[in-house]
Amino acid sequence: MTTLQESALSKPLRQPAFGVGILAVGAGLIAAFAVPVLADDYWLSSIIIPTVIMGLAGIGLNLLMGYTGLVSIGSAAFMSIGAFSTYNLLLRAPFLPLPIVLILAGLIAAIAGVIFGLPSLRIKGFYLGASTLGAQFFFEWLFTNFSWFSNDSQSLTISAPRLQILDYDLQSATGRYYLVIATTALLIALAFAIVKSRVGREWMAIRDMDVAASVIGIRVARRKLLSFGISSFFLGIAGALWAFGYLGTSDAHAFNLDKSFQILFIVIIGGVATIFGNFLGAAFIVLTPILLDRLSLIIDLSFLGDQGALANLQHIIFGTIIIVLLIKEPDGLSSLIKRGVEALRPRARSSG
């Protein structure tokens, strides 16, 4: 009986989970740094790196959408700001080390985020979504039309002039993986700290009912702008990693509306107002199309008679999986897994 009471009481504070959490984080870190030993270039470059970066971008949007309840469909624009800022800082201020450049790029994206977040003080929901769409189109236009941002390159593309920390070259797949995983680990820790802090709780209060939040003394306007800023900070760094840690070379069109929607789907499929759920969502969005393509290599589908029909069929299957998933599990993959784990627990207890 007492155990039940205890666990019920401690649940909001999540204390029992804390020790387990530290263990999990430690194990996760060890595993993360051991990955390059086990995985080859293919796994690192085309599976793990994009999934981790998109998961990070998902966290960025989730802080805004899941925790503060503000809709944005311009996430990719803030990623592009991060990417172009990183490029220009590396190029024009060669004395700055890479970590500082990434943080500065994140801050530049954050400033843009605050500016484009101003409409959120007056409008909500779909209307706000439409105004963030403005950011999406504005920055794609800006980076395509002013070649200064891409150092007057002929093809308007940017590629990292140098990718190194303390003379350690990060160009190889392993190097890029460590850059991505270390940055992401730090930002996950930051995200947890923010969400658990007073700021995070105020965001959730605003999300649940902003009038009530302002009545109890939360400065709603400031908190909303802060949310836009922090969200864009995450997205900016994710964008820089996407451009240089994953693609290698990119242009403004790598951050088009499709990418914004992808991030939105990652948040919805992974689970709104979660941190690790974003990585589940990212894995789903990034890996399912590849998996389907791989399956079609192995299963004999020649009765379809046509490679084109096969390629289109993959899109249909992908769409169907999304629809089924959202009907069966509207709270996303993270909730599916959480409930799966909870369903396992009483069994373990009764047997032990």
The amino acid present at 117, given as its one-letter code, is: G
Handedness of CA 167, 168, 169, 170 (dihedral sign): negative
DSSP string, 43-76: HIIIIIHHHHHHHHHHHHHHIIIIIT----S-HH
Tokens 């992908």, residue located: 318
The per-residue b/e assignment along 200-224, b for 16 or more CB within 10 angstroms, e otherwise, is bebbbbbbeebeebeeeebebbebb
Cβ nearer to other proteins, comparing 214 with 314 = 314
Q: What are phi and psi of 165, to 5 degrees?
A: -125, 125
Applying CB under 8 A, the span of 28-36, 130-138, 206-214, 336-344 interacting with other proteins comes to 336-344
Q: What would the x/- binding string for other proteins be over residues 89 to 108, using CB under 8 A? A: --x-----------------
Cβ nearer to other proteins, comparing 122 with 162 = 162
Cβ nearer to other proteins, comparing 2 with 152 = 152
Give least dist CB 2 to other proteins, A. Answer: 28
| Position among 56, 225, 240, 254 found at the interface with other proteins (CB under 8 A) | 254
Give least dist CB 337 to other proteins, A. Answer: 7
Q: Does 172 bind other proteins (CB under 8 A)?
A: yes
Nearest residue to 277 (alpha-carbon basis) of 264, 268, 289, 286: 268
| Position among 17, 212, 293, 320 found at the interface with other proteins (CB under 8 A) | 293
Contact between residue 243 and residue 250 where contact means Cβ atoms under 8 Å apart:
yes
In eight-state DSSP terms, residue 253 is G
Touching other proteins, residues 270-289 (CB under 8 A): 286-287, 289
Give least dist CB 150 to other proteins, A. Answer: 8
Q: How far apart are CA 98 and CA 309, in angstroms?
A: 46
Touching other proteins, residues 38-77 (CB under 8 A): 41-43, 45-47, 50
Indicate the SS3 state at residue 168.
Answer: strand
Cβ nearer to other proteins, comparing 151 with 214 = 151
The amino acid present at 70, given as its one-letter code, is: L
Q: Which residues bind other proteins (CB under 8 A)?
A: 41-43, 45-47, 50, 91, 144-145, 147, 151, 153-157, 159-162, 171-172, 246-251, 253-254, 286-287, 289-291, 293-295, 297-298, 306-308, 311-312, 314-315, 336-337, 339-344
